[in-house]
């Protein structure tokens, strides 16, 4: 992962933690200098502490709910308990009853519950919620730009349900949800579920919304075949988009991540080759070694030559131009 991706992931983790504590993220900014692993581990421990704090009372409520018909329980959940307590209770209820209750609740309320829910504690409930309801909740979460919440749930949904959720996500949301997935090994599975017609949207969404750090991180977690398909599906990027991509590579040091895309695009190779010469020599040698080890240096054309410290005719022309 690039340093920029690491920084953004830690920022997203602190946002999750602030959400959990119902605290202003700005006041917890000091946590961003910790490692991603430490912030994530802290969030998990706080989750445990909060869920365990009223465990006995919540368990008694869960037992009491067995005496009530689901319609009454759902009404109490929505009107009396609110989203926070409903989220705490969800994992303590009989899963079939919890799903029945959820089916009687409105998507905006369920979206509020999703924000406060610890999916690990309600996995049996989440996995039984029908696809159309997941789609309605996702629609709500996308409208609220709750990417972090969606990212926490993906690992607990079946393929069919994920497909229903993906249909509700535009490409911008998809790139941002993939970026905050807790288990990055699921990125390639997620991309594998996308219809081919949507692959082009990933790079386009990055270009249109300045999401190159997130998109390059996503591409870095796909299989080589998927990466090729995504780049091949992308219509040629216009001048402005290419300039934005090159700027993001320089600003966030995304050289390693961009090489996979550059293999497919001669214009991008040329633009990056112009900039690679200004990199410190050790960094350039490091990238060249990585590209050589991956067997991609020859496929990088003039960029490969620039990385290797050779000055190509095209490169000379570019550097001597106005």
Does 22 contact another protein by CB under 8 A?
A: yes
CA distance 221 to 189: 10
**For the chain, how long is the longest CA-to-CA vector?**
82
Question: What is the dihedral sign for C-alpha 31, 32, 38, 42?
Answer: positive
Q: Does 6 bind another protein (CB under 8 A)?
A: no
15/279 Cα distance (integer angstroms): 33
Name residues contacting another protein, limited to 218-257 (CB under 8 A). Answer: none
Give the number of other CB atoms < 10 A from CB of residue 159. Answer: 10
Minimal distance, residue 225 CB to another protein, in Å: 37
List Cβ neighbours of 284 (8 Å cut-off, separation of 6 or more). 276, 307, 309
Q: How many residues does the chain have?
A: 322
Q: How far is the CB of 89 from another protein (least distance, A)?
A: 10
Contact by Cβ (8 Å): 201, 211: no
Q: In this chain, which stretch among 25-33, 119-127, 260-268, 295-303 interacts with another protein, using CB under 8 A? A: 25-33
Q: Which stretch binds another protein (CB under 8 A): 27-35, 155-163, 228-236, 290-298?
A: 27-35
The minimum distance between CB 6 and another protein, in angstroms, equals 14
- Tell me if 27 contacts another protein by CB under 8 A: yes
Which one of 6, 41, 106, 192 is in contact with another protein (CB under 8 A)? 41
Residue 130 within binding range of another protein, rule CB under 8 A: no
Distance (Å, rounded) from C-alpha 265 to C-alpha 154?
Answer: 32
Q: Output 54 or 251, the one with its CB closest to another protein.
A: 54
Rg of the chain, C-alpha, whole Å: 23
Which is closer to another protein, CB of 28 or CB of 233? 28
SS3 96: helix
Name which position in 3, 6, 23, 283 contacts another protein (CB under 8 A): 23
Closer to another protein at the Cβ: 56 or 240?
Answer: 56
CB of 29 to another protein, least distance (A): 10
Site membership for another protein, residue 15 (CB under 8 A): no
**Using CA atoms, how far apart are residues 160 and 124, in angstroms rounded to an integer?**
16
* Distances 187 to 134, 201, 217 between C-alpha atoms, Å: 19, 16, 10
Rule CB under 8 A: say whether 46 interacts with another protein.
Answer: yes
By CB under 8 A, the residues from 51 to 110 that bind another protein are 52-54, 57-58, 60-61, 63-64, 67-68, 72, 75-76, 79-82, 84-85, 88
Interhelix angle 239-252/212-220, nearest 10 degrees: 80
Residue 50 binds to another protein (criterion: CB under 8 A): yes
Q: Does 318 bind another protein (CB under 8 A)?
A: no
User: Please, what sign has the CA dihedral across residues 171, 177, 180, 186?
Assistant: negative
Which residues form the interface with another protein (CB under 8 A)?
A: 20-23, 27-28, 30-31, 33-35, 37-38, 41-42, 45-46, 48-50, 52-54, 57-58, 60-61, 63-64, 67-68, 72, 75-76, 79-82, 84-85, 88
């Amino acid at each position: 992962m690039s340093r920029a991706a690491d920084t953004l992931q830690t920022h997203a983790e602190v946002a999750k933690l602030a959400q959990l504590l119902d605290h202003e993220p700005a006041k917890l900014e000091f946590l961003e200098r910790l490692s991603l692993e430490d912030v994530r581990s802290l969030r998990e421990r706080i989750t445990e502490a909060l869920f365990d704090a009223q465990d006995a009372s919540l368990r008694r409520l869960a037992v009491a709910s067995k005496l009530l018909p689901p319609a009454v329980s759902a009404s109490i959940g929505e009107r009396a308990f609110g989203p926070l307590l409903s989220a705490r209770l969800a994992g303590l209820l009989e899963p079939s009853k919890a799903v029945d209750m959820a089916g009687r609740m409105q998507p905006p309320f369920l979206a509020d519950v999703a924000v406060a829910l610890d999916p690990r504690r309600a996995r049996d409930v989440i996995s039984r919620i029908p696809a159309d309801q997941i789609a309605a909740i996702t629609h709500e979460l996308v409208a609220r730009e709750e990417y972090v919440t969606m990212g926490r749930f993906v690992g607990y949904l079946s393929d069919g349900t994920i497909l229903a959720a993906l249909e509700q996500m535009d490409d911008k949301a998809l790139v941002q949800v993939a970026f905050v997935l807790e288990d990055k090994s699921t990125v390639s599975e997620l991309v594998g579920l996308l219809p081919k017609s949507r692959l082009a949207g990933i790079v386009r969404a990055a270009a249109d919304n300045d999401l190159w750090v997130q998109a390059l991180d996503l591409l870095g977690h796909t299989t080589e075949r998927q990466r090729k398909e995504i780049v091949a599906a992308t219509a040629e990027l216009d001048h402005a988009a290419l300039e934005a991509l090159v700027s993001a590579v320089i600003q966030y040091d995304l050289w390693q991540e961009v090489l996979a895309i550059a293999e497919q695009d001669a214009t991008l190779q040329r633009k990056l080759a112009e900039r690679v010469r200004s990199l410190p020599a050790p960094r350039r040698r490091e990238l060249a070694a990585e590209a050589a080890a991956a067997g991609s240096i020859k496929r990088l054309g003039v960029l490969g030559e620039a990385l290797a410290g050779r000055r190509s005719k095209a490169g000379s022309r570019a550097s001597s131009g106005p």
